[in-house]
Amino acid sequence: MTLAGKTIVITGVSSGIGGEVARLARFHGATVIGVDRNDAMLTLDGFIKLDLGSTEAIDAALLLFPDKIHAVVNAAGVPGTTDKDLVARVNYLGLRHLTEALLDRMPKGAAIVNFASILGAEWPKRVDIHRTLAKTNSFAEGQAWLAANPAPQETCYQYFKEALIVWTMMRGHQLFLERDIRMNSVAPGPVFTPILGDFVAMLGQDRVEADAGKMKRPALADEIAGPVLFLCSDDARWVAGINLPIDGGLAAAYL
Protein backbone atom coordinates (compact mmCIF):
# COMPACT_ATOMS: atom_id res chain seq x y z
CA MET A 1 0.00 0.00 0.00
CA THR A 2 1.29 3.45 -0.89
CA LEU A 3 -0.22 6.84 -0.24
CA ALA A 4 2.58 8.82 -1.89
CA GLY A 5 1.30 11.94 -3.59
CA LYS A 6 -2.03 11.88 -1.77
CA THR A 7 -3.37 14.64 0.44
CA ILE A 8 -5.51 13.27 3.26
CA VAL A 9 -7.72 15.26 5.62
CA ILE A 10 -8.19 13.57 9.01
CA THR A 11 -10.63 14.87 11.62
CA GLY A 12 -10.23 14.04 15.31
CA VAL A 13 -6.48 14.05 14.71
CA SER A 14 -5.30 15.28 18.10
CA SER A 15 -5.79 12.02 20.01
CA GLY A 16 -6.75 8.38 19.82
CA ILE A 17 -7.41 6.68 16.51
CA GLY A 18 -7.28 9.85 14.44
CA GLY A 19 -3.73 10.50 15.59
CA GLU A 20 -2.63 6.97 14.73
CA VAL A 21 -4.21 7.21 11.28
CA ALA A 22 -2.28 10.45 10.71
CA ARG A 23 1.04 8.94 11.80
CA LEU A 24 0.64 5.89 9.57
CA ALA A 25 -0.57 7.97 6.62
CA ARG A 26 2.55 10.15 6.76
CA PHE A 27 4.73 7.03 7.08
CA HIS A 28 3.20 5.78 3.82
CA GLY A 29 3.94 9.05 2.06
CA ALA A 30 0.74 11.07 2.39
CA THR A 31 0.47 14.77 3.05
CA VAL A 32 -1.78 14.98 6.12
CA ILE A 33 -4.00 17.90 7.04
CA GLY A 34 -5.33 17.43 10.56
CA VAL A 35 -8.61 18.81 11.89
CA ASP A 36 -9.60 18.97 15.56
CA ARG A 37 -11.14 21.31 18.11
CA ASN A 38 -8.08 20.70 20.31
CA ASP A 39 -4.50 21.63 19.46
CA ALA A 40 -2.54 19.04 17.51
CA MET A 41 -0.10 16.94 19.54
CA LEU A 42 1.77 15.33 16.64
CA THR A 43 3.65 16.28 13.50
CA LEU A 44 1.37 17.16 10.58
CA ASP A 45 1.68 18.86 7.22
CA GLY A 46 -1.12 21.24 8.14
CA PHE A 47 -3.65 21.74 10.92
CA ILE A 48 -7.10 23.36 11.06
CA LYS A 49 -8.64 24.02 14.46
CA LEU A 50 -12.35 23.43 14.03
CA ASP A 51 -15.49 22.59 16.02
CA LEU A 52 -17.47 20.17 13.85
CA GLY A 53 -20.62 20.84 15.84
CA SER A 54 -21.04 24.27 14.22
CA THR A 55 -21.95 24.88 10.58
CA GLU A 56 -20.73 28.46 10.93
CA ALA A 57 -17.32 27.25 12.06
CA ILE A 58 -17.13 24.65 9.27
CA ASP A 59 -18.10 27.13 6.57
CA ALA A 60 -15.64 29.73 7.87
CA ALA A 61 -12.80 27.18 7.82
CA LEU A 62 -13.34 25.93 4.26
CA LEU A 63 -10.86 28.42 2.82
CA LEU A 64 -8.14 26.76 4.92
CA PHE A 65 -8.51 23.34 3.28
CA PRO A 66 -6.36 22.31 0.29
CA ASP A 67 -7.68 22.76 -3.22
CA LYS A 68 -7.16 19.05 -3.98
CA ILE A 69 -8.00 16.34 -1.45
CA HIS A 70 -7.53 12.65 -2.21
CA ALA A 71 -9.09 11.27 0.96
CA VAL A 72 -11.11 12.38 3.98
CA VAL A 73 -11.06 10.34 7.19
CA ASN A 74 -13.86 11.34 9.55
CA ALA A 75 -12.50 10.09 12.87
CA ALA A 76 -13.78 12.90 15.12
CA GLY A 77 -16.60 12.11 17.51
CA VAL A 78 -17.98 12.53 21.01
CA PRO A 79 -19.22 9.76 23.33
CA GLY A 80 -22.83 9.09 24.26
CA THR A 81 -22.24 10.40 27.77
CA THR A 82 -22.58 13.91 26.32
CA ASP A 83 -25.85 15.59 25.38
CA LYS A 84 -27.64 13.91 22.47
CA ASP A 85 -27.81 17.16 20.49
CA LEU A 86 -24.03 17.47 20.61
CA VAL A 87 -23.68 13.82 19.56
CA ALA A 88 -26.00 14.50 16.61
CA ARG A 89 -24.11 17.63 15.55
CA VAL A 90 -20.59 16.23 15.77
CA ASN A 91 -21.00 12.52 14.97
CA TYR A 92 -23.50 12.91 12.14
CA LEU A 93 -24.66 16.33 10.98
CA GLY A 94 -21.31 18.13 11.15
CA LEU A 95 -19.46 15.17 9.64
CA ARG A 96 -21.92 15.14 6.75
CA HIS A 97 -21.78 18.92 6.28
CA LEU A 98 -17.98 19.02 6.09
CA THR A 99 -17.79 16.01 3.79
CA GLU A 100 -20.31 17.43 1.34
CA ALA A 101 -18.51 20.79 1.38
CA LEU A 102 -15.20 19.14 0.39
CA LEU A 103 -16.51 16.95 -2.44
CA ASP A 104 -15.74 19.42 -5.21
CA ARG A 105 -12.06 19.33 -4.20
CA MET A 106 -11.91 15.54 -4.55
CA PRO A 107 -10.82 14.08 -7.91
CA LYS A 108 -11.96 10.80 -9.40
CA GLY A 109 -10.65 7.90 -7.36
CA ALA A 110 -10.73 9.84 -4.09
CA ALA A 111 -11.95 8.18 -0.90
CA ILE A 112 -13.95 9.00 2.23
CA VAL A 113 -13.85 6.85 5.38
CA ASN A 114 -16.40 7.50 8.13
CA PHE A 115 -15.96 6.15 11.65
CA ALA A 116 -19.03 4.23 12.72
CA SER A 117 -18.90 1.62 15.50
CA ILE A 118 -19.76 -1.95 16.33
CA LEU A 119 -22.53 -0.31 18.38
CA GLY A 120 -24.20 0.66 15.11
CA ALA A 121 -24.71 -2.97 14.13
CA GLU A 122 -28.48 -2.89 14.66
CA TRP A 123 -29.08 -0.31 11.92
CA PRO A 124 -31.33 -2.73 9.95
CA LYS A 125 -33.92 -2.51 12.76
CA ARG A 126 -34.30 1.24 12.13
CA VAL A 127 -33.32 1.46 8.50
CA ASP A 128 -36.44 3.32 7.40
CA ILE A 129 -35.91 6.04 10.01
CA HIS A 130 -32.22 6.38 9.19
CA ARG A 131 -32.98 6.44 5.47
CA THR A 132 -35.36 9.35 6.00
CA LEU A 133 -32.76 11.28 7.99
CA ALA A 134 -30.16 10.55 5.31
CA LYS A 135 -32.40 12.19 2.72
CA THR A 136 -32.44 15.54 4.55
CA ASN A 137 -30.46 17.98 2.44
CA SER A 138 -28.62 20.09 4.99
CA PHE A 139 -27.42 20.42 8.57
CA ALA A 140 -30.40 22.65 9.41
CA GLU A 141 -32.90 20.33 7.74
CA GLY A 142 -31.41 17.39 9.62
CA GLN A 143 -31.67 19.28 12.90
CA ALA A 144 -35.30 20.12 12.21
CA TRP A 145 -36.08 16.48 11.43
CA LEU A 146 -34.40 15.36 14.65
CA ALA A 147 -36.32 17.95 16.66
CA ALA A 148 -39.53 16.38 15.36
CA ASN A 149 -38.17 12.83 15.70
CA PRO A 150 -35.81 12.93 18.69
CA ALA A 151 -33.28 10.21 19.36
CA PRO A 152 -33.26 8.75 22.90
CA GLN A 153 -30.49 10.15 25.10
CA GLU A 154 -29.58 6.75 26.57
CA THR A 155 -28.81 5.22 23.16
CA CYS A 156 -27.97 8.34 21.15
CA TYR A 157 -24.44 7.17 20.37
CA GLN A 158 -25.66 3.90 18.90
CA TYR A 159 -28.47 5.72 17.07
CA PHE A 160 -26.19 8.12 15.23
CA LYS A 161 -23.62 5.46 14.41
CA GLU A 162 -26.47 3.46 12.85
CA ALA A 163 -27.55 6.58 10.97
CA LEU A 164 -23.99 7.17 9.77
CA ILE A 165 -23.73 3.64 8.39
CA VAL A 166 -26.97 4.08 6.45
CA TRP A 167 -25.95 7.48 5.08
CA THR A 168 -22.54 6.11 4.10
CA MET A 169 -24.11 3.28 2.13
CA MET A 170 -26.72 5.47 0.43
CA ARG A 171 -24.46 8.41 -0.37
CA GLY A 172 -21.51 6.14 -1.10
CA HIS A 173 -23.46 4.39 -3.84
CA GLN A 174 -24.37 7.72 -5.44
CA LEU A 175 -20.86 9.13 -5.25
CA PHE A 176 -19.25 6.07 -6.78
CA LEU A 177 -21.70 5.97 -9.70
CA GLU A 178 -21.76 9.70 -10.38
CA ARG A 179 -18.28 10.93 -9.40
CA ASP A 180 -16.04 7.88 -8.97
CA ILE A 181 -15.50 8.83 -5.31
CA ARG A 182 -15.53 5.95 -2.83
CA MET A 183 -17.23 6.38 0.53
CA ASN A 184 -17.05 3.62 3.15
CA SER A 185 -17.35 3.34 6.91
CA VAL A 186 -15.46 1.33 9.51
CA ALA A 187 -16.94 -0.13 12.68
CA PRO A 188 -14.35 -0.58 15.43
CA GLY A 189 -15.09 -2.49 18.59
CA PRO A 190 -13.68 -1.27 21.94
CA VAL A 191 -10.36 0.55 21.52
CA PHE A 192 -7.82 1.73 24.09
CA THR A 193 -8.33 5.49 23.65
CA PRO A 194 -8.90 8.37 26.10
CA ILE A 195 -12.69 7.99 25.79
CA LEU A 196 -12.83 4.25 26.51
CA GLY A 197 -14.02 5.04 30.05
CA ASP A 198 -16.96 6.98 28.61
CA PHE A 199 -18.07 3.89 26.74
CA VAL A 200 -17.90 1.81 29.91
CA ALA A 201 -20.11 4.39 31.64
CA MET A 202 -22.45 4.59 28.66
CA LEU A 203 -22.97 0.84 28.24
CA GLY A 204 -22.94 -0.17 31.90
CA GLN A 205 -20.76 -2.67 33.69
CA ASP A 206 -22.94 -5.70 32.88
CA ARG A 207 -22.68 -5.14 29.11
CA VAL A 208 -18.97 -4.46 29.32
CA GLU A 209 -18.31 -7.64 31.31
CA ALA A 210 -20.45 -9.69 28.91
CA ASP A 211 -18.51 -8.37 25.91
CA ALA A 212 -15.18 -8.89 27.69
CA GLY A 213 -15.82 -12.62 27.74
CA LYS A 214 -16.30 -12.64 23.97
CA MET A 215 -13.11 -10.85 22.92
CA LYS A 216 -9.35 -11.11 23.36
CA ARG A 217 -8.99 -7.46 24.47
CA PRO A 218 -9.81 -3.96 23.28
CA ALA A 219 -7.92 -2.93 20.16
CA LEU A 220 -4.94 -0.63 20.11
CA ALA A 221 -5.47 2.51 18.06
CA ASP A 222 -2.76 1.59 15.57
CA GLU A 223 -4.58 -1.70 14.85
CA ILE A 224 -7.47 0.34 13.48
CA ALA A 225 -5.35 2.68 11.36
CA GLY A 226 -4.16 0.14 8.78
CA PRO A 227 -7.58 -0.96 7.51
CA VAL A 228 -8.72 2.68 7.42
CA LEU A 229 -5.82 3.69 5.20
CA PHE A 230 -6.29 0.64 3.00
CA LEU A 231 -9.73 2.06 2.19
CA CYS A 232 -8.04 5.37 1.31
CA SER A 233 -5.57 3.69 -1.02
CA ASP A 234 -5.82 2.76 -4.68
CA ASP A 235 -5.72 -0.90 -3.62
CA ALA A 236 -9.35 -0.41 -2.48
CA ARG A 237 -10.44 1.23 -5.73
CA TRP A 238 -13.37 -1.19 -6.13
CA VAL A 239 -14.58 -0.97 -2.53
CA ALA A 240 -17.51 1.42 -2.12
CA GLY A 241 -20.52 1.74 0.16
CA ILE A 242 -19.47 -0.84 2.73
CA ASN A 243 -19.24 -0.86 6.54
CA LEU A 244 -16.07 -2.70 7.55
CA PRO A 245 -15.96 -4.19 11.09
CA ILE A 246 -12.54 -3.86 12.78
CA ASP A 247 -13.42 -5.54 16.05
CA GLY A 248 -11.19 -8.56 16.61
CA GLY A 249 -14.10 -10.86 15.77
CA LEU A 250 -16.44 -9.47 18.45
CA ALA A 251 -19.43 -9.20 16.12
CA ALA A 252 -18.98 -12.84 15.12
CA ALA A 253 -19.36 -13.87 18.77
CA TYR A 254 -23.03 -12.86 18.67
CA LEU A 255 -24.00 -15.39 16.00
Q: Catalytic residue positions?
A: 157
* 224-236 residues labelled b (16+ CB within 10 A) or e (exposed): bbeebbbbbbeeb
Q: DSSP E strands: which ranges in 84-238?
A: 111-115, 182-188, 191-192, 219-220
Cβ atoms 110, 70 nearer than 8 A: yes
Q: In the Cβ-directed half-sphere of 154, how many Cα atoms lie within 13 Å? A: 2
* 14-46 residues labelled b (16+ CB within 10 A) or e (exposed): bbbbbbbbbbbbbebebbbbbbbbeebebebee
d(CA 206, CA 218): 16
d(CA 110, CA 97): 18
Q: Which residues pair with 244 in a beta bridge?
A: 186
Cβ atoms 113, 106 nearer than 8 A: no
Question: Which of 185, 151, 1, 179 lies closest to 75 in space, CA to CA?
Answer: 185
